[in-house]
C-alpha cells in the first residue's frame, strides 16, 4: 500500500514548522494502472483531478510552476521507485494551503483513487 495520506505525526510536524510566506510543494506521483469501475488509467483520472482543483488553486493564489515526467534514476538505487510524474506547486503561505486542502468540495477522493503511491514534500525556494 502506497502513501496517499499524511500521518498524524507528519501533519503535526508540518503545522509546527515555521514557514514564513511562500513555499513550494513537491508532488511525486505513481499512478494506478487501472482505476475501477471506470476502467480508465490512474493518469487519466489524475488529469481529471488536476482540472477539478484549478478553481481551488486560483482562489488560493497558488500555481503549478513545473510539471514533468521522470526519465529514470541517474544517481540512486536501481530498485528505487521511478515516479510517473513530479510537479511543483507554489503556495503563498502555509495557512492558505491548509485552507485550500480543507475547503468544501476539494476533490481529494479523485487524487486518492488515481494514485498507487505519492509523496508531498514542502520546500522553501532559494
**What does the pLDDT look like over 36-92, one tens digit per residue?**
887 999 999 999 999 999 999 999 999 999 999 998 888 888 777 789 999 999 999
Region 96-120 average pLDDT: 96
Q: If you write DSSP's letter for every residue of the chain in order, what string do you get?
A: ----S--HHHHHHHHHS---S-EEEEEEEEE-S-BTTTTB-HHHHHHHHHHHHHHHHHHHT-EEEEEE-----SSS-TTS---SEEEEEEES-HHHHHHHHTSTT--HHHHHHHEEEEEEEEE---
Model pLDDT, residue 1? 62
Quick one: angle between helices 94-101 and 42-60, nearest 10? 130
Model pLDDT, residue 97? 97
Model pLDDT, residue 73? 86
pTM: 0.91
Amino acid at each position: 500500500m502506497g502513501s496517499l495520506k499524511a500521518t498524524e505525526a507528519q501533519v503535526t510536524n508540518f503545522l509546527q514548522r515555521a514557514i514564513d510566506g511562500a513555499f513550494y510543494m513537491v508532488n511525486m506521483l505513481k499512478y494506478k494502472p487501472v482505476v475501477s469501475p471506470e476502467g480508465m488509467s490512474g493518469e487519466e483520472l489524475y488529469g481529471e483531478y488536476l482540472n477539478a482543483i484549478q478553481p481551488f488553486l486560483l482562489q488560493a493564489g497558488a500555481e503549478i510552476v513545473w510539471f514533468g515526467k521522470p526519465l529514470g534514476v541517474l544517481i540512486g538505487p536501481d530498485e528505487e521507485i521511478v515516479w510517473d510524474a513530479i510537479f511543483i506547486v507554489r503556495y503563498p503561505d502555509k495557512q492558505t494551503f491548509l485552507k485550500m486542502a480543507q475547503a468544501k468540495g476539494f476533490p481529494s477522493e479523485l487524487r486518492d483513487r488515481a494514485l498507487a503511491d505519492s509523496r508531498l514534500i514542502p520546500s522553501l525556494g532559494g
